[in-house]
A and B are shown apart, each in its own frame.
Chain A
Amino acid sequence: EAGVTQSPTHLIKTRGQQATLRCSPISGHTSVYWYQQALGLGLQFLLWYDEGEERNRGNFPPRFSGRQFPNYSSELNVNALELEDSALYLCASRWGASTWGELFFGEGSRLTVL
């Protein structure tokens, strides 16, 4: 069975541009989470979607947004890119809206902002 898949693997943008990252959860998983992994900072919670609704968002500015589609896939949009947005963006999925239990992570999308 396929795991969580993310695209693109790498993305290079310049300041002020927009980036769109995509995630396909494990089949049957309805919850999708986005985390930012900047160098040396661990994983920072960005967004949580379940059944197409945003359930919670982390302490990031509004230019970080996303959505979840009817097939439970998700995209993360980052507008007006800044240099400090350079990071690995990880998507994870889980079955149902329970907040306990294993999160299954993808391998991430590496965003570089020049």
Chain B
Amino acid sequence: GENVEQHPSTLSVQEGDSAVIKCTYSDSASNYFPWYKQELGKGPQLIIDIRSNVGEKKDQRIAVTLNKTAKHFSLHITETQPEDSAVYFCAAIVDRGSTLGRLYFGRGTQLTVWP
């Protein structure tokens, strides 16, 4: 099946700085890549997603880039704020056969934004 690796596992930044989280995937057939944010005691919440036919997508301070050739995708958060502190998960889906409907998640990045 698909294998998604995520780095770094922890990331500390000063308020106002940028944060970048990187993920790689193994199956070139993966075609959908969401990012989820999980705050303490809550379930994960989708913050942005990208499909394999798009190279970049932006939503205010958040952007995601996808490099299909290298099989990696990244989350970029600009002008970070303390409320951005959370665990971020990348994920990928290979929509075929036995993997239908199955999201493969990375192990998460604990982002801490210091005021």
Contacts and interface: CB of A to CB of B under 8 A. Distances in A.
Interface of A: 4, 31, 33, 35, 40-45, 48, 55-56, 58-59, 90, 92, 97, 99-103, 105-108
Interface of B: 1, 6, 32, 34, 36, 41-46, 49, 51, 89, 91, 93, 95, 98-108
Contacts of A105: 36, 43-45
B46 to A, nearest CB: 4
B79 to A, nearest CB: 24
A42 B51 contact: no
B51 A100 contact: yes
B44 A90 contact: yes
Contacts of A33: 101
B103 A90 contact: no
B100 A56 contact: yes
Contacts of A92: 43
A99 B107 contact: no
Contacts of B41: 107
A97 B95 CA distance: 12
Q: Is the interface of A mostly helix, strand, loop or mixed?
A: loop
B42 A43 contact: no
Task: Pick from A33, A42, A58, A100 the residue with the most CB of B within 10 Å.
Answer: A42
Nearest to A92: B43
A97 B101 CA distance: 8
A106 B41 CA distance: 10
B46 A103 contact: yes
Given A100-B32, A100-B93, A43 B44 contact: yes
A45 B115 CA distance: 36
